[in-house]
Amino acid sequence: MNLPLDAAIEVVCVIVNCGHASRILKYARNHGISGGTVMLGHGTVKNRLLNFVGLGDIRKEIIFMVADENTAENLLESMNRDFELHRPNHGIAFSYPVCGLFGTHNIPCRCGSIQEQGADSAMYHSITTIVDKGRAEEVISAATAAGSKGGTIINARGSGIYETSKVFAMEIEPEKELVIILSEKEHTEAIVDAIREKLKIELPGHGIIYVQDIKRAYGIYK
């Protein structure tokens, strides 16, 4: 994938049921994106029938890909059509702007131009919360009470100054859980405040929350 140096860059995130990531990556390659990163997680959207048969927590694959904004837009529109994301339980796909890209390509920060392109007019936000393993359900509980419909939980690992303890002189880096919640913009503040209060996020080592504008989103249902 060749990204022009003056391109506005976006991250495309696709959340699908486990086993579908390879199909998504192959589809993305056919639309100009050479690869991506796949993470495992599980969804928490409640469904009475699924809960009844013991499948309330469905395993998910989360695919992150980087593209210029035109490629991202074309990919999402095509996926919405070909994968029928407008139908329930067919997956969620969204994109958000990034300030710079470093690694395979070095593209300088373009935050000012991103704002000019209308990121502030986004209808949805992505709320990401990182907490110690075992506390993700508390995040989901607080968010649900504030109006969220659910989220996706990903296992991770911390390495901050508050995240390590020593056993026999060996540093132990505790496991983390990363929770992604998509929110309508008008509900974001209430959801964030509920999470902050329940988990006491302001205290050192209790977690991190950050919010991002979503430029395009498919597969989200009210």
What is the H or E stretch that residue 79 is in?
helix 69-82
Name beta bridge partners: 125.
Answer: 183, 213
The predicted-structure confidence for 71-110, as pLDDT tens digits, reads as follows 999 999 999 999 999 888 889 999 998 876 566 555 555 5
| Together in a domain, 101 and 61 | yes
Q: 61 is written with which tokens?
A: 């694959």
Which residues are registered as beta bridge partners of 157? 175
117 and 155 share one domain:
no
**For position 81, which CATH number holds?**
3.30.70.120
> CA gyration radius for the chain?
18
Q: Is 116 found in the same domain as 14? A: yes
DSSP structure class, residue 212: E
183 and 86 part of one domain: no
Q: Examine the domain organization and report whether 86 and 153 are in the same domain.
A: no
Confidence (pLDDT) at 54: 40
Range of the domain at 38: 9-121
| Phi, psi angle pair for 204, to nearest 5° | -55, 135
Decide if 202 is inside a domain: yes
SS3 109: coil
Q: Which of 121, 136, 163 is the last residue of a domain?
A: 121
- Domain boundary at 105, 121, 137, which? 121
Q: Model confidence over 130-176: pLDDT tens digits? A: 998 899 999 999 999 999 988 999 987 665 555 555 555 555 556 88
